[in-house]
Every structure is written in structure tokens, then in C-alpha cells.
Chain A
Amino acid sequence: MASYIIDKKDLKILLDKFLKEFKVYGPIKPGLDSSVDEIKSIDDLHLEYKSTIISPKKFFLPPKDTLFEFKIQKGNYEIKEIVNDEKFILFGLHPCDVNAILKLDEFFSGKFKDKYYQNRRKNSIIIALNCTQPGENSFCKSMNAGPFLYKGYDILLTDIDTKYLIEIGSDKGKKIIQGLKLNIASKNDLLKKEKKCKLANKKIKKILDPNWLPKLAEENLDHEIWIDLGERGGVAGSFPCLSCGSCSLVCPTCYCYDIYDTVDLSLKNGSRVRELDSCQLLEYGQVALGGNFRKDRKDRIRHWMFCKFGAAAGSKNSSCVGCGRCIRVCPSKIDITKVAKSLWRKK
């Protein structure tokens, strides 16, 4: 499909058109601790952001989500469906986050479909933004998830100095810019993108070989690194794990959730709720009679890392996209890439 360009100062025209028809969410702050929230005007939008604290998975898998409401009457039940049909645009997502969404797409489809996730996904439009300023924690390049994006977007923007290059990735994307007078991108503009891509790639300092990650997961169940990480002095300059769960809660591909019922004081009306959970918490593996399948901290941190290395949802591929959020958020400075490297070295 054709590519277009728009002057940075004209971005308002584009945004205003979207705002007429959709709710728009985008980065509302510059820097590493930005967050994706509602954008009401061009002044709210900070496309120069580096990363967000919470990943955009919150739009598809909210931390708290009501599955259905129910009414109990004389031993009979009545179930009330929850329908959420808000159509929305995610504006300015980085390639790592778009790739994470693609991984979640795969996970929430399959034999049993997750209606809640798929509904929200169907109602979403993704306007991605190629990442020209990857941070010190990013290792997206190694995970094949950035810094530039090649699939999964409806519209893709690339910052080429005074302009944005606009590429269309889907019919949805084509439809929403219909009627706008946009200039066709020149060969020079496309070359500029190439250059930007090379520059961005060079900025990434964290490198891993993703091919050996699944293998690491299989071969190092008993490695003493897990004891270091869980109980002793940490690994590669980190402190031991606090099992606070922050890493998995900010991770764009961690999807584990808990389900529970709540009722009002009449005990007649209630709802079944799902809430984001973390495998780092003691309660995660608990079953009746106080049994727990992952009682030790070392088991829990190992479980999480293996899941990121490649065990998630029975896949052989890593579910990590290298966004670096878990490294940024860890109070103990645990760095999953350093742990992987230590495991590899100590084989």
C-alpha cells in the first residue's frame, strides 16, 4: 500500500479527525515513566516518550475485568452479560508493544476463545510509532520485536526529522485516513526511514541470542543461580528477588489472571471478576488444604523467567519482546538478560 507523509506541525489535523470518531489513547508524558491514557487534544500527546510504566495490554486485559454479573433468586441463577463495544485508537505504540499484542492475540485465540479479549481487540485500531530512541534497557532487537515494526499495525508512523512517514498496514488503517489530503512519500522519505532504522538499531546495547533461550529453560531447573536469585545475594549485581510481582505486572505479555466472585450485602447480586495475577506471589500456586506448588521464592522467579524464555502457553518461542520494563521496574535491579547470560556462561 502507498505511503504518505505529514508535517509534524500538521499532526493535529490527523488527530482531530480521529477524535471525531473514536476514543484515542496515547502516551501522555515524555520520558521512561510515561503512560498510555486518554488523549483529548494534541497537547496531551507526547510521541517523544521512551516507554510506559504499564504496558498497553491494559486496554485488552484490564487489571480488573468483570466477566459477568449474576442474580440469585430462590436457588435459581440469572446471568447478565457485560458488553463493551467502545471503539478506540491506540496512538503511538512502540513496536515492542505491538509485537506483544500479536503474541497475546495468538494466546487468547485457539480452541477456547476469550471473548472479552477478542472483543476489545476487534474494536481497537493500532497506530504504531517506530522507536527511534530505544532506552538503555531495551533488547527488542534480539527478540525480533523492534526497534522498527513490520507487522501488526493498522497505521505505522516513523519520525523522519520534521515529518512523519505514514504507512498503511490494513484496510482498517486505510479507512480511517480516508478523506485526508496527504502527500505521497517520496523515495527520499523512505530512504530516510531506512537510515533512522539503522541508527536506532545501533543505539541498542543489550544483545541476547534468542535461539538459546528455550534451551536454557529446559536445562537449568536445578541451577544454583535460582537460589542466588531467590534467597542469597542476587545475580550479576542485583539484590535477591523480593517477589513483589512488579516484573510480571508491567510485562506486556504476562496474562495470568485470578478469577473470583463478589457479592453485595444481600448476597443476592454479584459478579464474577478476573484480576491480573502474578506468578511471583505466594497465593498464585496455592490449592485447597494449604498445598502450594511454588512455595519457594526461587521456584517462582524461575517459573517467571522460564515463561519469558519460552515456556509461555506451551510455546517453544520466547514470549518476551525485549521492552525492558521488568528491568526498569525491579527494585532489586534484577536483569533478565544478565540472568540468561549467567546461565549460559555457567553451563
Chain B
Amino acid sequence: MAKKPKIGVFKLTGCAGCQMEIFRMEDEFLDLIKLFDISYWKMAKRDNDDKDLDIALIEGGISTPWEIEEIKCIRKNTKFLVAFGDCAIGGCIPSIRNWIPQMESEEIVYPDPSKICSTKVHGIGEYVKVDAELKGCPPHRKTILELLKSALLKIRPRLRQHPVCVECKFQGNACLITSNKLPCMGPVISGGCGAICPTLGRICEGCFGPMSNPNASALANIFRDIGLNDEDIKRKFRKYSGMSPEFRLEAGH
């Protein structure tokens, strides 16, 4: 049998939820350990080796100068670098602090901000080349598996970025925008979640980030039409992916 691919799982600025999602793959977890050599994963093991990785899953965005150095170092040691979850892709929820001055946000959290040295929160793509993105907050187990299987087959993973609407229609749901006049983010947000929220009657919050080629301005206008004010709309687009180029204008850049 060929050598097992070496995997590293790293955490930068994020909540560790994406890593938890790997643990949640209860049915496949034991098989995965057999197929991959988990070389670096601080949350799961004591001895870690971050050299010569085949795949690195990076959770979290960049918010300090040290993290910039760290991600560059990981890039050097890795063949295939994956932005694992929204934080690594575009900063996600931590990036909502980018909308207020740096000092102000530090003062809110820390009693003595003089010891804090933080940067604006960005995805890792700002600093290094990223080979694949696993969208989601956290990514769906299915897409994680899809990526790992593709790595074994040495092919590009089939990670489609169609809108939530597609999966919502597969579920047979009525449209929350047209039928209930609710501000659902579905039409501009990448699917992959199976449209869980709309299926339960809740609007899409946007946790998978922008779909491919979204028409964000049109959706903002639709929200305005159903009664949202400009501040509401800004907040909606800022929440998960305010730093993404697709949502820039609507998020208030």
C-alpha cells in the first residue's frame, strides 16, 4: 500500500468549531485514522510534527503578526493547503471587529490593551496561496469527507458553490422571501449545508459565505423592498463574510 498522506490540522483565530466537526464524523473517524497519518493536530494529540505535510487544514483567520509568520511557515511545509472554514477563508465572525477602530475593539475586550498587538482580521488567502476552500461555519462533514477522498484519489474535489436556494428546492421548501417576506440570505450564499435552516422555517444567516458569482446588490434591494433599513442590511452582509470581495459594497466598504 502506498504511503499514508500526512495531515496537519492548525488553529489560528477561530472558535475551534471546525476542528470539532472532524471529531463529529463519528462513523468515519476510525477509518480516517487508518487512511491518513495525522501528523499535527494539537487538539487531538500530544506529539506533533509539522514538517512535510501533504495536506494542512487551517482553521481560523489571521489577527496577529505572529499568525502571519505561522501561516507562511505552514505554507512552506505543506503541499496542499486548505482554508478550513469561513474564518480561514475570509475572517468570518471575528472580522466584524474590522468595522470599528483597532484600539477601540482591543479596549472593549482587554483591561490593559497596551500588551495586545492585533491586526485587522483577514482570511489566510491574504498572505499565502490557498489550494482549496472548505466553506462553512463549520464546514459540513460531507464536504470534509469529499475533500479527503479526493486527496486519496488525487483529483480535485467536487465542491460546488451553488446557492442555498438549490438545496432548499431539493428539500421542497417554500421560498421564505417570496412566501413569507423574510430576509433570507439564501440566494447569495453558498450551499453545502443542505439548507438546514430554511427547511426548519428559519432564514439563511449566510454561514457558508458567498456562492459563485452572487448578485449581492440585487438581494440588498430586495431586502430594502421587504422593509429592512440600510443598517440591517449592512449587518446581514457583514456577519459571516463582510471581508469577501463579493459582499464588499453591501457590507459598507
Give residues in A with beta carbon < 8 Å to B.
Answer: 32-33, 35, 53-54, 58, 63-64, 234, 239-246, 249-250, 260, 263, 265, 267, 276, 278, 281-283, 297, 328-332
Chain B hits for A242, CB < 8 A: 163, 187-188, 214-215, 218-219
> How close is B218's CB to chain A, nearest CB, in angstroms?
4
> How close is A142's CB to chain B, nearest CB, in angstroms?
23
> How close is B50's CB to chain A, nearest CB, in angstroms?
25
Does A53 lie within 8 Å of B172, measured CB to CB? Answer: yes
In chain B, positions 181-239 with a C-beta closer than 8 Å to chain A are 186-188, 212-215, 217-219, 221-222, 225
Does B218 lie within 8 Å of A249, measured CB to CB? Answer: no
CA distance A178 to B209 in the complex (A): 57
> How close is A309's CB to chain B, nearest CB, in angstroms?
22
Does A265 lie within 8 Å of B145, measured CB to CB? Answer: yes
Output the nearest chain B residue to A240 by Cβ-Cβ distance: B218
Does B31 lie within 8 Å of A63, measured CB to CB? Answer: no
Does B166 lie within 8 Å of A54, measured CB to CB? Answer: no
Known: A239-B222, A244-B163, A278-B166. A260 touches B158 (CB 8 A): yes
Output the nearest chain A residue to B221 by Cβ-Cβ distance: A239
The number of chain B residues with a CB under 8 A from chain A is 37
Does A35 lie within 8 Å of B188, measured CB to CB? Answer: no
Chain B hits for A64, CB < 8 A: 170
* In the complex, B177 has a CB within 8 A of chain A: yes
Q: Which of B153, B170, B214 contacts A263 (CB 8 A)?
A: B153
In chain B, positions 149-175 with a C-beta closer than 8 Å to chain A are 149, 152-153, 158, 160-163, 165-166, 169-170, 172-175
Does B35 lie within 8 Å of A53, measured CB to CB? Answer: no
CA distance A168 to B139 in the complex (A): 53
Chain A hits for B175, CB < 8 A: 53, 246, 329, 331
Known: A53-B174, A250-B169. 10 other contacts (CB 8 A): A53-B175, A58-B172, A243-B213, A244-B187, A245-B169, A276-B170, A281-B160, A281-B163, A281-B166, A331-B187
Chain A hits for B221, CB < 8 A: 239
CA distance A260 to B225 in the complex (A): 39
Does B170 lie within 8 Å of A63, measured CB to CB? Answer: yes
CA distance A328 to B222 in the complex (A): 15
Chain A hits for B160, CB < 8 A: 281, 283
Chain A hits for B225, CB < 8 A: 239
Chain B hits for A54, CB < 8 A: 169, 172
CA distance A269 to B85 in the complex (A): 28
Q: Which of A58, A244, A267, A278 contacts B186 (CB 8 A)?
A: A244
Q: Which of A35, A249, A330 contacts B178 (CB 8 A)?
A: A330
CA distance A207 to B35 in the complex (A): 62
> How close is B27's CB to chain A, nearest CB, in angstroms?
10
Chain A hits for B69, CB < 8 A: none
* In the complex, B28 has a CB within 8 A of chain A: yes
- 12 A–B contacts from the bound complex (CB under 8 Å): A58-B172, A239-B222, A240-B218, A242-B163, A242-B219, A245-B162, A250-B169, A267-B149, A278-B162, A282-B213, A331-B177, A331-B219
Known: A239-B225, A241-B218, A265-B32. A246 touches B145 (CB 8 A): no
* In the complex, B179 has a CB within 8 A of chain A: yes
Known: A245-B162, A281-B212. A265 touches B170 (CB 8 A): no
Does A328 lie within 8 Å of B178, measured CB to CB? Answer: yes
Output the nearest chain A residue to B213 by Cβ-Cβ distance: A282
CA distance A92 to B191 in the complex (A): 33
> How close is A24's CB to chain B, nearest CB, in angstroms?
18
Does B212 lie within 8 Å of A283, measured CB to CB? Answer: yes
Chain A hits for B215, CB < 8 A: 240-243, 297
Output the nearest chain A residue to B184 by Cβ-Cβ distance: A331
Chain A hits for B186, CB < 8 A: 244
Does A265 lie within 8 Å of B187, measured CB to CB? Answer: no
Known: A242-B215, A267-B149, A267-B152. A281 touches B169 (CB 8 A): no
CA distance A18 to B156 in the complex (A): 49
Does B153 lie within 8 Å of A33, measured CB to CB? Answer: no
> How close is B195's CB to chain A, nearest CB, in angstroms?
12
Chain A hits for B163, CB < 8 A: 242-245, 281
Q: Which of A246, A265, A328 contacts B149 (CB 8 A)?
A: A265
In chain B, positions 12-48 with a C-beta closer than 8 Å to chain A are 28, 31-32, 35
Output the nearest chain A residue to B152 by Cβ-Cβ distance: A267
> How close is A10's CB to chain B, nearest CB, in angstroms?
31
Output the nearest chain A residue to B167 by Cβ-Cβ distance: A63
Chain B hits for A58, CB < 8 A: 172
Does B222 lie within 8 Å of A331, measured CB to CB? Answer: yes
Does B170 lie within 8 Å of A267, measured CB to CB? Answer: no
CA distance A267 to B169 in the complex (A): 30
Does B218 lie within 8 Å of A33, measured CB to CB? Answer: no
Q: Which of A242, A282, A328, A330 has most B Cβ within 10 Å? A: A242
Chain B hits for A33, CB < 8 A: 174, 179
Does A246 lie within 8 Å of B165, measured CB to CB? Answer: yes
Chain A hits for B31, CB < 8 A: 265
CA distance A330 to B188 in the complex (A): 13
CA distance A227 to B199 in the complex (A): 33
Q: Which of A240, A241, A245, A267 contacts B165 (CB 8 A)?
A: A245
